[in-house]
Structure 1
Amino acid sequence: SSYNKKHLLMGILGGFFLSLHFSFWISSLKFTSVASSVVLVATNPIFVGLFSYLFFKEKQPAELILGIILSFLGSIILVVGDSGLQGLTVQNPSFLLGDILAFLGAIMASGYLMVGSKLREEMDVLPYISMVYTFSASFLLISSISLGIPFTGYKLSSYFYMVLLAIVSQLIGHTAFNWALKHLKASMVAITILGEPIGASILAYIIFRETIKSFQS
């Protein structure tokens, strides 16, 4: 299908949000644990519910509001577990920075889902993802070149994992979310992402031997 001016402008915005989501989230993994990063970035239902009400006047059911509150409280517990009450600002800045980056990633993911929910009302999934993924990749390419990030010199296994991320996480995972946006509210799609921390934490334990603190689980 053809793209009109509205589609292109919103596609640029959606691609921008998606590129920032990846930038913040992937960067957070350098400073904090996989479990903390994924749990925090999966709090995006908080912002999807809030933005849906503020910008589109969509009323959220009581169950969703309760879930948002519990998700927010869980995020606070997680951050304290990483940094400690006394170390939130000075004693453990590395973990705190990682948690903040993951949290910003959640906000950007929410913007991406909100834009997608509106565009999917008018567009089929393939034209939509072709446009948004292209804009997102372009933003990431420009920022990588600007920051002097090299594209070569990594281990062969690293390139293998990059391909897996592109195929499994992006083309399959994100496309499934984008397909669902035409049939479900953005807030409901966002809630399904809450399953990510469970799988990611299990994989992090198996692959990296990262332990999960009792109160974080």
Structure 2
Amino acid sequence: MRRTVALLAVGVLAVSLAAPLMAQLVVPALAIAFWRNALGTGVLVPAVLTRRRAEVASLDRGQVVAIVVAGLCLAAHFGFWVTSLTMTSVASSTAIVSLQVVWVVGWDLVRGVPVPGRVLLGVLVAVIGAVVVSGVDLSVSRRALTGDLLALVGSVAVAAYAVIGGHVRQRVSTTTYTTGAYGVAALALGIAALVAGQDLGGYDADQWAWLVLLAATAQLLGHSVFNHLLATVTPTVVSLALLLEIPGAAIIAGFWLDQVPGFGAVVGLVLILAGMSVVIRTRPTAPAS
């Protein structure tokens, strides 16, 4: 249990760096998403070739299809979310994309998986916390509203990615699954960037440095840790843990970018933590089959 909590903490800290790091970049949105996945894939490929070659060769058709679909979902998540960050505030975009937990629990309900009332209550409290952190802008511009909608689509995509990963990771190692999903996502995002006319190179040295740091922290330490945890905890728990990215990013931005979180962010953090504790203590620790 302590190891799981420690890994959750590392993962949350790593993904919380994503929005502040991307705020430093003047690289096109789809290019950011591409390089985040491509660099992560490049680091993992040698490990697969040296230690997981037999496992890769033994993957059946269903597992390969699942990994490809998961990668496409991940590409959609990053493509829509990173683009939304150029149209609406970091707080709003991050909060909305983190509402993936709603879709994960909804999928459980569709499949007929029993969801205790306390879990639904915990989800509701956590979602309210996310809304409080993001704030409610009653005078949203059309551009900001479009950004919010893109983030919402991104939340659906990453929820699908989490659910698929929960199934695949029961039989496939973290390294193999992660490398495959990141590789597919990078390929899809690279094609999307080229079609959209977004440059994939020609950046200044400092921009490359930020991209490498983004891949090393948010991608490799963040999403890879959560992929590993999907073998032992439910997608709902992972999704709720990812809600902490909202206050985490706000705190980091406060120290790094002088974007000090207000009272609402503190209230939202308390609500998110309360909702998470209810779900983690109520739901089983093993992933649903």
TM-score, scaled to structure 1: 0.88
Asked if 1:151 is matched to 2:207, the reply is no
Structure 1: unaligned runs, 5 residues or longer: none
Asked if 1:100 is matched to 2:149, the reply is yes
2:176 corresponds to: 127
Alignment deviations for residues 126-168 of structure 1 (CA, whole Å, 9 cap, x no partner): 1111211111111111111111110223232221111111111
Structure 2: unaligned runs, 5 residues or longer: 1-54, 267-289
Q: Post-superposition shift, 1:213? A: 4.9
What letter is aligned with 1:140? L
Alignment deviations for residues 11-56 of structure 1 (CA, whole Å, 9 cap, x no partner): 111001100100111111112222222122111111111112213x
Alignment deviations for residues 98-143 of structure 1 (CA, whole Å, 9 cap, x no partner): 2222222111110000110111122111111121111111111111
1:36 corresponds to: 92
Asked if 1:11 is matched to 2:38, the reply is no
2: distance between equivalents of 1:124 and 1:149?
Answer: 34
Percent identical pairs in the alignment equals 27
1: distance between equivalents of 2:73 and 2:120?
Answer: 24
What letter is aligned with 1:61? P
Cα pair distance change 1:181/1:123, threshold 3 Å: same
Q: Which moved more, 1:125-134 or 1:18-27?
A: 125-134
What letter is aligned with 2:118? E
Corresponding residue to 1:68 among 97, 118, 123 = 123
2: distance between equivalents of 1:43 and 1:108?
Answer: 11
1:142 corresponds to: 191
1:203 corresponds to: 252
TM-score, scaled to structure 2: 0.67
1:45 corresponds to: 101
8 Å CA contact retained: 2:130, 2:246: no
Cα pair distance change 1:77/1:199, threshold 3 Å: closer
1: distance between equivalents of 2:213 and 2:93?
Answer: 19
Cα pair distance change 1:37/1:20, threshold 3 Å: same
CA RMSD of superposed structures (Å):
1.9
What letter is aligned with 1:114? V
What letter is aligned with 2:119? L
8 Å CA contact retained: 1:28, 1:99: yes
Q: Post-superposition shift, 1:173? A: 0.8
Corresponding residue to 1:81 among 123, 130, 136 = 136
8 Å CA contact retained: 2:166, 2:231: yes
2: distance between equivalents of 1:73 and 1:191?
Answer: 12
2:9 corresponds to: none
1: distance between equivalents of 2:69 and 2:96?
Answer: 23
8 Å CA contact retained: 1:77, 1:216: yes
What letter is aligned with 1:45? V
8 Å CA contact retained: 1:18, 1:112: yes
What letter is aligned with 2:121? L
